[in-house]
Structure 1
Amino acid sequence: MLRLKLLGQVLPHYLMNLEEVLVMRVKNYMEDVIDRMFPEVIKRYPEVCKCQRCASDIKAIALNHLPPKYVATEAGEVYTKVNELSSQFEADAITALVIAIKKVIERPRH
């Protein structure tokens, strides 16, 4: 009886953890690319406001100018890069960030 009671306590916990491992998450890899490149590109524009709202606007505008690259990852797993960054891929991301920065300079939302 005690053995069954212990199993009843352990098994649901084990199954819950197993389910978490098997859950796949979908992520737009381009968000990571923009986040990684943002600090370097923003340095070239000292006149742009760097508050959280403007930074978020710049990233959102840039992402809207780029095709999404979705990857499926297991929860907690570090996923591998989709398409190693070719020079054209990187150039597209920089171009999108520059366009976004110029838009935010022209019309900040504060």
Structure 2
Amino acid sequence: MDEVILVNKMEGVVKQMAEQMLAESGICNCPRCLLDVLALALNSLPPKYVVTNIGNAVTNVDLDSSQWKANVTMAVCNAINVVKSRPRHS
């Protein structure tokens, strides 16, 4: 039997959007700030867990709807604003 893992599909979606939005925003995108944005955004969104074989791409999870995109965009924007106003480094 192939080894399987549990994956929160939202992590990849949020990370991709956060990296893009941080690059466009002009604020700090160091690893600490990126992880703070990811943690804040993911904690405000419902998880989307899937089980997949190790090494396989996670597919067929419906995150393509406009409502999901809007929810993720709003969560990432809010997280960026929090991190921008209170970065946890000097």
Same fold (TM over 0.5): yes
* Identity fraction in percent: 40
Match of 2:41?
Answer: 62
- CA-atom RMSD, angstroms? 1.3
Q: Please identify which structure carries the higher helix content.
A: 1
Normalised to the residue count of structure 2, the TM-score between the two structures is: 0.89
Is 1:90 matched up with 2:69?
yes
Match of 2:51?
Answer: 72
The higher radius of gyration belongs to 1
Is 1:103 matched up with 2:85?
no
1:64 counterpart letter in structure 2? N
Is 1:38 matched up with 2:18?
yes
Normalised to the residue count of structure 1, the TM-score between the two structures is: 0.74
Is 1:23 matched up with 2:3?
yes
Unaligned 5+ segments in structure 1 are 1-18
Structure 1 residues 101 and 84 mapped into 2: Cα distance closer, same or farther (>3 Å)? Answer: closer
